[in-house]
């Protein structure tokens, strides 16, 4: 079967529709080619994503974090971490990127697991790599790094070669394993 979505709405049309239905003022917009980014405050995130899912048919495809410590053009007042949520509408092939900022020393964001079950591991990975806590997550544990690892390796202040964790791993011998 061929399913061409020939009438794929432009990012501007998508934005206009969201503005009309959800109001404006609580988010700011940036874009690059067909990437449309809405910068949303954390407290509005669950409400907005739920509405985007139920009223607009958007679904999560990608979730990831980034550390902007020392990024050019960023003032000290802006957020250190940002989490992006790439949403996709399977019917119209529209895409939308939500971005939420959060800062040290206590980075906390609401979880999206109740909205999309697939956010589970993706949020765990962001927690593992950046230490951002997703409040309400059912099982927020480290996922890629060992459980007893203390640092958050993708933070910009974590060195590429680590802080010697690897050399200081406890040696497990055959006798006491």
Partner 1 sequence: MPVNLLDEPDIQAENRDYHWTLNFGPQHPATHTTLRLLLELEGETILNAIPDIGYLHSGFEKLGEHLNLNQYVTVVDRKNYISPPMNEVAWHNAVEKLLEIEITPRCKYIRVMIGELARISDHLLCTGAAALDLGAFTAFLYAFNLREMIYDIYEEMSGYRFHPGYTRTGGVMFDFTERVTGRIEKFLVTLPKILADMEKLLFRNKIFLERMRGVGVLTKADAIAYCASGPIARASGVTYDLRKDEPYLAYADFDFSVPYATEGDCYARFHVRMEEMVQSARILRQALDKFPGGPVNVPIAEKFPMPDKGTTYGSMEGLIQHFELVMPNRGFQTSVNEVYAAVEGPSGELGYYLICDGTQVAWRTRTRPPAFIHFQLFPHLIRNHMISDIVAVLGSLNIIAAELDR
Stretch that binds partner 1, among 12-20, 39-47, 67-75, 166-174 (CB under 8 A): 67-75
Binding flag, residue 22, partner 1 (CB under 8 A): no
- DSSP-derived 3-state class of residue 88: strand
Of 169, 163, 176, nearest in space to 146 by CA: 169
| 58 and 89 Cβ atoms separated by less than 8 Å | yes
| Shortest distance, position 23 Cβ to partner 1, whole Å | 25
| Shortest distance, position 62 Cβ to partner 1, whole Å | 4
- DSSP-derived 3-state class of residue 169: coil
> Computed from CA positions of residues 150, 155, 159, 162, in that sequence, does the dihedral angle turn out positive or negative?
positive
Binding flag, residue 62, partner 1 (CB under 8 A): yes
Binding flag, residue 66, partner 1 (CB under 8 A): yes
Residue from 11, 67, 107, 127 in contact with partner 1 (CB under 8 A): 67
Binding flag, residue 73, partner 1 (CB under 8 A): yes
CB atoms within 10 A of CB 106: 8
Residue from 50, 90, 104, 108 in contact with partner 1 (CB under 8 A): 90
Binding flag, residue 160, partner 1 (CB under 8 A): yes
| 109 and 81 Cβ atoms separated by less than 8 Å | no
Radius of gyration, CA atoms only, the chain:
19
Binding flag, residue 121, partner 1 (CB under 8 A): yes
- DSSP-derived 3-state class of residue 113: coil
Of 5, 124, 100, 109, nearest in space to 57 by CA: 5
- DSSP-derived 3-state class of residue 150: coil
Stretch that binds partner 1, among 12-20, 21-29, 62-70, 163-171 (CB under 8 A): 62-70
Residue from 43, 117, 163, 169 in contact with partner 1 (CB under 8 A): 117
Tell me which residues touch partner 1 (CB under 8 A). 1-5, 8, 32-33, 35, 59-62, 64-68, 71-73, 84, 86, 88, 90, 93, 95, 97, 116-122, 125, 129, 142-146, 153-154, 160
């Amino acid at each position: 079967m061929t399913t061409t979505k020939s009438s794929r709405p432009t990012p501007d049309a998508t934005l206009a529709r969201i503005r009309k239905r959800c109001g404006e003022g609580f988010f700011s917009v940036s874009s690059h080619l067909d990437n449309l980014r809405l910068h949303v405050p954390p407290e509005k995130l669950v409400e907005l994503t739920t509405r985007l899912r139920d009223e607009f048919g958007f679904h999560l495809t990608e979730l990831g974090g980034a550390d902007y410590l020392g990024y050019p053009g960023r003032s000290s007042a802006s957020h250190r971490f940002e989490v992006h949520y790439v949403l996709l509408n399977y019917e119209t092939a529209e895409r939308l990127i939500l971005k939420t900022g959060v800062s040290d020393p206590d980075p906390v964001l609401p979880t999206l697991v109740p909205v999309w079950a697939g956010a589970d591991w993706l949020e765990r990975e962001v927690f593992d790599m950046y230490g951002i806590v997703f409040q309400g997550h059912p099982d927020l544990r480290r996922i890629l790094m060992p459980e007893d690892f203390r640092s958050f390796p993708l933070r910009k202040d974590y060195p590429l070669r680590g802080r010697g964790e690897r050399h200081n791993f406890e040696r497990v011998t055959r006798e006491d394993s």
